[in-house]
Amino acid sequence: MMHGPPHTSFFLLRDLAREIRHWGDFPNQLAQKRTGCRSVPLEIPGAGKLRNTPAPLAISQYVQEIRKQYLAIVRFEDRNVLLGLSFGGMIAARWLEDFPCDFDGAILINTSSRQSPASKRLCPSAAARLVCASFYRKTLHREKTIARVICNLADTAELTRAWQKISDSAPMQRRNILRQLYAAAIFDLPAAPSVPILLLGCDNDRLVHHSCSRRIANTWEIELISHPQAGHDLPTDAPNWCCEVIFSWMAKVYAN
């Protein structure tokens, strides 16, 4: 009996100090681009529904915890693709190393590792603004600063209102933010994964310098596709571009 191509399940990992609601409408946009697709955001320990869970201090421990969510919902007959943004990209890279059979491919966006200098992994001017914002008593002002640092194209006024509601309803403990920061700071890039990888970056990323993505591309000997104007939060800034690049890449690597 002839069978058609498998359905695709995207599993999404957000960035540091963010939760699944910070994806906004991107999971729906990604799933609706092609028939037979679904998007499943996974919660990172220390944030969102897991905000009262102590955030691990090592990326491998994040993998162990998040994988429990994955195993509860994965459909092994699907083509399963892992997508990680920034901190989520670090978790994705380690996941592919620790459990190489879990996924058929992965998409890493604006991520970094200890291979790159600290001043490139967290640009000093952006870091200073974020540190100042962490002391704001009003979440509106804090989220406005974050939006302006990580987004270049999106409507930051609309984002600020949405992110304020998230922050007010599920505030993240400062201790967990620091623990996530520590895990990111000591992350070492593993060997190149055995599955196809799409590496996306942004030339105008003001939080994590574009050279961090370039270094990963050179180390793994893979192509880097970059957006010329978008900021660090690429899926929020340029969701349509992101989706089109993802499905174009999939058409090539899964052609057979």
Q: Where are the domains of the chain?
A: 8-253
**Secondary-structure class of domain 8-253 per CATH:** alpha beta
**Tens digit of each residue's pLDDT, the chain (256 residues):** 445 668 999 999 999 999 999 999 999 999 999 989 999 999 999 999 999 999 999 999 999 999 999 999 999 999 999 999 999 999 999 999 999 999 999 999 999 999 999 999 999 999 898 888 877 888 999 999 999 999 999 999 999 999 999 999 999 999 999 999 999 999 999 999 999 999 999 999 999 999 999 999 999 999 999 999 999 999 999 999 999 999 999 999 998 5
Which letter, b or e, does each residue of 147-158 get, where b requires 16 or more Cβ atoms within 10 Å of its Cβ? Answer: bbbbbbbbebee
The predicted structure's pLDDT at residue 232:
97
The tokens describing 43, both together, are 């919660």
Strand segments (E) across 78-216: 79-85, 105-109, 197-202
Per-residue pLDDT at 115: 94
3-state secondary structure of 106: strand
DSSP letter at 101 equals: T
Element spanning 226, H or E: strand 224-227
Per-residue pLDDT at 256:
59
What pLDDT shows up at residue 1?
41
User: 130 near 212, Cβ under 8 Å?
Assistant: no
Give the pLDDT of residue 132. Answer: 85
- Provide the token pair at 231: 């900021």
Q: How far apart are CA 214 and CA 216, in angstroms?
A: 5
Q: What is the pLDDT of residue 133?
A: 82
What are the C-alpha distances in Å from 129 to residues 18, 76, 92, 133, 235? 17, 43, 27, 6, 22
